[in-house]
């Protein structure tokens, strides 16, 4: 399997612009997670989905952030409008709840490094 795929790997944009980050989970996984990593706050969960349904979005910082999962193989995280404080590395991860000894082990994509000027 190719693992979790994220695009773009790097994104530089100007304040006020819309940013869309994309994720393709590992085939067959039923959970998808979006995390953000910053120096100040470390790695924090933003939102996660189970079978394409959002389960917990309590980590989404504000209304400027939205996430969708239209099907089992694709998810987007959108920021509109973007601000300099949104600069961070955004990770997507996926897991499979039906495993045996690796129950709900999460696998991470390579991340998208976002810079908002």
Partner 1 sequence: GIQVEQSPPDLILQEGANSTLRCNFSDSVNNLQWFHQNPWGQLINLFYIPSGTKQNGRLSATTVATERYSLLYISSSQTTDSGVYFCAVNAGGTSYGKLTFGQGTILTVHP
Judged by the rule CB under 8 A, the positions of this chain that interact with partner 1 are: 31, 33, 42-45, 48, 50, 55-56, 89, 91, 93, 95, 97, 101-108, 110-111, 113
End-to-end CA separation in angstroms for the chain: 36
Nearer to partner 1, 64 or 113 (CB): 113
Minimal distance, residue 77 CB to partner 1, in Å = 16
Rounded Cα–Cα distance for residues 4 and 92 (Å): 7
Minimal distance, residue 81 CB to partner 1, in Å = 26
Nearer to partner 1, 81 or 108 (CB): 108
Nearer to partner 1, 81 or 110 (CB): 110
Sheet with 74-79: strands ordered across: 5-7, 19-24, 74-79, 65-71
Q: Which among 74, 59, 102, 80 is positioned nearest to 15, based on CA atoms?
A: 80
């Amino acid at each position: 399997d190719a693992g979790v795929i994220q695009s773009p790997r790097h994104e530089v944009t100007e304040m006020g612009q819309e940013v869309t980050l994309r994720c393709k989970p590992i085939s067959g996984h039923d959970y998808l997670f979006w995390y953000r990593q910053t120096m100040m706050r470390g790695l924090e969960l933003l939102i996660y989905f189970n079978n394409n349904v959002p389960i917990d979005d309590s980590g989404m910082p504000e209304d400027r952030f939205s996430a969708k999962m239209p099907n089992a193989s694709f998810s987007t995280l959108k920021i509109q409008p973007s601000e300099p404080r949104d600069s961070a590395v955004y990770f997507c991860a996926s897991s499979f709840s039906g495993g045996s000894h690796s129950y709900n082990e999460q696998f991470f994509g390579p991340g998208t490094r976002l810079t908002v000027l």
